[in-house]
Amino acid sequence: MSTVVATPARAPEAVSRPRRLRSRERLAALLFLLPAAAYVALFFGFPLVNNVAMSLRDYSVRSFYTGEAPFVGWDNYLAVIRHPLFGEAVLNTVVFTVFSLVFQFGIGLALALFFNERFPGSGLLRSLLLLPWLLPLVVSGAVWRWMLDKDHGVVNAFLRALGVSDTGAPWLTDPGWALPAVIIVNIWIGIPFNLVILHGGLKAIPKSLYEAAELDGAGAWQRFRHVTWPMLRPVTAVVLMLGLVYTIKVFDVIMVVTGGGPADATQTLTTWSYQLSFDGQFAFGQGAAVGNLLVLVATVFGLLYLRSARSTIAEAER
């Protein structure tokens, strides 16, 4: 005859103790997140909500005195899209962003590969290349504005010394030269950022992979194509995404070097938004609408990046 041994029931206090512990851990986690959430809400969420509200109203200088800003709905957005300068500003923004990203990334990757090999003075030289990134953008823009001056600039003096041009290029006064000039300045500023991040990514690649590839007879190009580039793809996505978000909103460099001119040849969405709001027009609602369009574009690319990152992580876990 078998006997049944009854297990003693757990005391209610023993059951509720782990639950209380989990509740305390969740509360502690929320408290740690609270300062960051408050910072984001105060310095990002609040201005963004106000900017959206301003874009839906007819804000003017008078509105700041009377407090009256009639609701106009989407009229500011329609006015911006129908404006003769909208197409040129969008095209300039696209050209400025694409060329800046391509050359910043390409030159940064080449320099990262170069400095991945140790040689005497490599650390000092790499530190010197960080100067464009460390200088204030206003200072960099002012220096480049002097360097690109048609009559007294160093660049044209160098071109005349080489015999390339007798009079020099009108970098800042000709609409055909102004946009390439600000692109060159922005490329120079952005190269160190790409160099630092990509160099860190190269250092994280195991040397054993290169040794195995050499044993299989792979050359330099094959090692780059089949080892370096695939291992560098996650870092590349981060660099390009951050570079896109930064470049699409570049303002100070363009304003210092060309001011959006000549004849709106370097007018991008960011500089146009500023001029609509503050440069004599005081169309604050339209300026806010242009800013919101930029935020929307950056958000779309941010979501695409997050989706790509999740798929990459999922593939790595498999």
Q: How many separate domains does the chain show?
A: 1
Residue 143, judged by CB atoms within 10 A of its CB (0-12, 13-18, 19+), counts as middle
- Report yes or no: 251 and 291 within 8 Å, Cβ to Cβ: no
pLDDT of residue 10: 52
Q: Is 11 inside any structural domain?
A: no
Q: Is 214 inside any structural domain?
A: yes
Q: Is 302 inside any structural domain?
A: yes
pLDDT of residue 18: 67
H-helix or E-strand containing 22?
A: helix 12-40
SS3 sequence of 211-259: HHHHHCCCCHHHHHHHHHHHHHHHHHHHHHHHHHHHHHCCCHHHHHHCC
Q: Which domain holds residue 107?
A: 66-317
Distance CA 33, CA 90 (A): 38
pLDDT of residue 21: 65
Cβ atoms within 10 Å of 286's Cβ, excluding its own: 25
Distance CA 300, CA 314 (A): 21
pLDDT of residue 1: 47
pLDDT of residue 145: 92
What DSSP state is assigned to residue 5? P
pLDDT digits (tens, 9 = 90+) for 252-261: 899 999 988 8
Adjacent-strand bridge partners of 71 = 57
Cα–Cα distance list, 197 to 116, 194, 221, 234 (Å) = 12, 5, 22, 11
The pair phi, psi for residue 281, each rounded to 5°, is: -90, -35
pLDDT of residue 4: 52
Q: Is 34 inside any structural domain?
A: no
Residue 118: which CATH number? 1.10.3720.10
Adjacent-strand bridge partners of 130 = none
Q: Is 94 inside any structural domain?
A: yes
Give the residue ranges of the chain where pLDDT is below 70: 1-19, 21, 312-318
Q: Is 14 inside any structural domain?
A: no
> CB neighbours of 195 closer than 8 A, spacing ≥ 6?
108, 111, 112, 115, 126, 129, 130
Q: Is 41 inside any structural domain?
A: no
Q: Is 254 inside any structural domain?
A: yes
In this prediction the pTM is 0.84
